[in-house]
A and B are shown apart, each in its own frame.
Chain A
Amino acid sequence: MALDRWIALIILSICLIYGYTAWFTMDASLAPFMKRNPIWPSTFPKVLSILAIAACLVILSGIEKPEKTEPEIDYRKLHEYKLGQAVLLLALMVAYALCLRPVGFIISTTSFLFFGALILGERKWLLMFSVAFIATMIVWYLVQQVLGIYMRPLPGIFGG
C-alpha cells in the first residue's frame, strides 16, 4: 500500500475517534437548557466527522487514480538524503522549546543558532558564535525593548 493510503488510514482512525467523541460522549455534559437549542456544540463536529470519514474512504478505496508526478523528495529513498541532520534539527527545536522558559531567551537562542549551524556542517567557530550572539541580541532588543513583549533574558536564578 502506498504512503498516501497509509496516511489516509491514519486520518480515518483520527476521524473515527473524533466522530465517536462528537456522537457519543460530548453531549453527556450538556445542561438540559442547552439541549433545547437547535444547534449543539457537537453538531458541527458531527457533520465534519461524517464528511471526513467518507472522504478518507474514497482515498482508501482508490477510486481516484492520481497521475504519477515526480515528487520533490522520494520518501522510499529517504535514507539517501541527509535524514540525520533533519532529525537532529528537530530534536534541537524540541530542546529549544523546553529550555526557552527555564534557561532564558539569550542563552537558549544563541545556543540554538550556534548548534543549528553546527549540525548543518559549519565549522567557522568565531563567525558562528558572533552571528548567533549578535542576532539574538538584536531580536531580543526589538521584541523586549521596542515592542515591549516580555521575554525572560537570563535564567531565573539571575533574576531575569
Chain B
Amino acid sequence: MLEGLLIGLETAMSFQNLAMVIAGCLIGTFIGMLPGLGPMSIIAIMIPIAISIGDPSAALILLAGVYYGAIFGGSTSSILLNAPGVAGTVASSFDGYPMAKQGKAGKALTIAAVASFAGGTIGAILLMIFAPMLSSVALLFHSAEYFALMVVGLSAIAAFAGSGQVAKAIVMTLLGLILATVGEGTLFSLPRFTGGIMDLQSGLGFVTLAMAMFALPEALFLVLKPKEAGSAGGDIKDLRITRSEARAITPVIGRQSIQGFFIGVLPGAGATIASFLGYAVERNLASKEEQAEFGKGSIKGLAAPETANNAACTGSFVPLLTLGIPGSGTTAILLGALIALNVSPGPRLMIDEPQIFWAVIMSMFIGNLILLVLNLPLIPYIAKVLSIPRNFLIPFILFFTLMGAYIGQNNATELLILVGFGVCATALKFADYPLPPLLIGFILGGMLEDNFARSMQLYDGISFIWERPMALGLLVIAAMLLVLPSYRARIARHRAGGVADGD
C-alpha cells in the first residue's frame, strides 16, 4: 500500500496536476453556489475539458477538485440563503441557516469547511483501507435492504417533531411521499396523478420543491418583516471555532465520517441519506440541552450532515473503482469520463493501472486540503453576501431560486409551480408545520417506492420483511429512532411531574 501511495503522490504532486486541483476547486465552488447546479451537472459540464487534457490522472484530479468544490459551494448557498441546490446539502441548512441568521455566518461556513474536510479525508483513508473488502459487502444489499434503509432515512423526521408536533411532522412526510408519486412511476411507466398535464409527466423537480419549501418562504418572511433582515448577518462575528466548540464537534465528525462512508459505499444510498441519517443519529445521541438546540443553530447539527455527505461521496467511489458500478449520479458521470479516457474501472483496475487508482485517492486528499486552504480565507468575503442591502439582496435571492428551478428542467411551467408551492409553504410555515420532513419524504419517496416494488416482485408479496433479517433489523432501528425521542421526552416529563424515582 505504501508503494501505491508513493506512486499516487508522485503523480498528484506535479505542477500541472496541482494547478488542476486548484482550478477545479475554484470552478466547483463558484458554480456550485448557484442553486440548481449540483456536482453532477458541473462535472458533466467539465467532462469535455477534462477529456481534452488527455492524461487520465490529470483529468480525474481536475474532476475530483470540481466535485469537492461543488459540494462545498452547495453548502454555502444552503447556509447563507437557505437555498439548498443539492439534495445532499438539504440537511446542512437545518442548522446552518439559523446560525447565519444569528450573525454567525462565518462560523457556520468555517464549521462546514472543516467538517467537509474531515469527512472527505477520513473517507479517503477508509477508502484506501477497505475498498477491496467492501466491494463484496455492497453486493449483499438487495432492494429489500435498500427499502429498509430508506425507511431509516425517513426516521430523521423525528428530529423535527417537537413537543406536540409529531402528527404534523408525519403529515408533512407523507405529503412529501405523495408528491413524489406524481409523474410516471417506474412500474410500467404509467403516468400517475398528473391531472392530464403534460408538464407533470416527468414529476416535480427536486430543486423546484427545495426552493419552494426553503428559499422562497424565507425570502417572503424577510420582505414581510424587514427589521430582522437588516441585522441578519450584517456583521460577521466570531469566525473562529472556540476550543469548547471544537471539542463538541470532534466526536460528531469522527462518528459521521465513518457512518457516512459506509452508507456511501452502498450503491444508490449516497450522500443524501447519509446526511439525513447523520443528523438524526447525532440528535438522538446528544444530551437533552443540546437536543433543544437542534434546528435552532446547533453546531453539532451542522457538522453532522456536512461530514456525513462528504464521507459518503468518498465512499461512493468504492463500488466505482473496485467493481465498476457507479453508485450515484455523479460517479456514473465519472465512469463515463473514465471510459472516454480509456480506463475501465473494475476489479482489474488496481492491478492493471495502479497509478490511476492511487492518483484518484491522492487527489481526494489534495482536493480536500486545497479546498480548505482556498476557502478558509475566502469565507469572510463569501459571508459578506448577507451584508448586501436587502433591497438588492431579496430580488437576487428570488432570481436565483427561479434560475435554479429553470436551469434544471428548462421549463417555464416549473417556475409557476415554484411560486405556487412557495405560497403554500409560506402558509404552512405560518401554521407552524415543519417543512424539512416534506422535502425528506419527497427525496426518498421515489427510491423508497422503487425498492419496495422490486422486493415485492422478487418475493411475490411482503414476505421479504421477515425473510431478510438485515431488512428487518433496519426497520426495527427505524422504529426505534422514531419512538425513542418521544419516549425519552415522556420519561423526562414524568420526572418533572414530581413522581418519585426508584431510589
**Chain A interfacial positions (CB closer than 8 Å to B):** 2-4, 6-8, 11, 15, 18, 21, 26, 29-30, 34, 37-45, 48-49, 51-52, 55-56, 58-59, 63-67, 69, 71-73, 75, 78, 81-83, 85-86, 89-90, 93-94, 96-98, 100-101, 109, 112-113, 116-117, 120-122, 131, 135, 139, 142-143, 147-149
Q: Given A120-B390, A149-B407 in contact, is the A73-B171 Cβ separation under 8 Å?
A: no
Instruction: Check if B494 is an interface residue, CB within 8 A of chain A.
Output: no
Q: Find out whether the CB atom of B415 lies under 8 angstroms from the CB atom of A4.
A: no
Chain A contact residues: helix, strand, loop or mixed:
helix
Q: Which of chain B's residues 412-452 have a Cβ closer than 8 Å to chain A? A: 412, 415-416, 418-419, 422-423, 427-428, 430-433, 449, 452
Q: Which of chain B's residues 314-359 have a Cβ closer than 8 Å to chain A? A: none
Q: Find out whether the CB atom of A4 lies under 8 angstroms from the CB atom of B190.
A: no
Q: Find out whether the CB atom of A75 lies under 8 angstroms from the CB atom of B164.
A: no
By a CB distance below 8 angstroms, the chain B residues around A116 are 394-395, 398-399
A8 and B456 alpha carbons, distance in the complex (Å)? 32
Q: Given A26-B192, A48-B178 in contact, is the A120-B394 Cβ separation under 8 Å?
A: yes
Q: Given A48-B181, A131-B392 in contact, is the A112-B399 Cβ separation under 8 Å?
A: yes
* Among all A-B residue pairs, the 3 with the closest Cβ atoms: A116-B395, A97-B415, A66-B164
Q: Find out whether the CB atom of A83 lies under 8 angstroms from the CB atom of B412.
A: no
Q: Find out whether the CB atom of A41 lies under 8 angstroms from the CB atom of B167.
A: no
CB of B319 to closest CB in A, whole Å: 27
By a CB distance below 8 angstroms, the chain B residues around A121 are 391
Question: What is the total number of residues of chain B having a CB less than 8 Å from a CB of chain A?
Answer: 64
Q: Find out whether the CB atom of B456 lies under 8 angstroms from the CB atom of A38.
A: yes
In the complex, the chain B residue whose C-beta lies closest to that of A113 is B395
Q: Among the listed B220, B415, B453, which residue makes an inter-chain contact with A44, where contact means beta carbons less than 8 Å apart?
A: B453
By a CB distance below 8 angstroms, the chain A residues around B192 are 26, 41-42, 45
By a CB distance below 8 angstroms, the chain B residues around A15 are 174, 178
Q: Find out whether the CB atom of A18 lies under 8 angstroms from the CB atom of B166.
A: no
Instruction: Check if B15 is an interface residue, CB within 8 A of chain A.
Output: no
By a CB distance below 8 angstroms, the chain B residues around A40 are 187
By a CB distance below 8 angstroms, the chain B residues around A75 are 430-431
Q: Find out whether the CB atom of A18 lies under 8 angstroms from the CB atom of B187.
A: no
Instruction: Check if B163 is an interface residue, CB within 8 A of chain A.
Output: yes
A71 and B224 alpha carbons, distance in the complex (Å)? 14
By a CB distance below 8 angstroms, the chain B residues around A89 are 220, 223, 394-395, 398
CB of B497 to closest CB in A, whole Å: 15
Q: Find out whether the CB atom of B164 lies under 8 angstroms from the CB atom of A65.
A: yes
Q: Find out whether the CB atom of B432 lies under 8 angstroms from the CB atom of A71.
A: yes
Q: Find out whether the CB atom of A86 lies under 8 angstroms from the CB atom of B171.
A: no
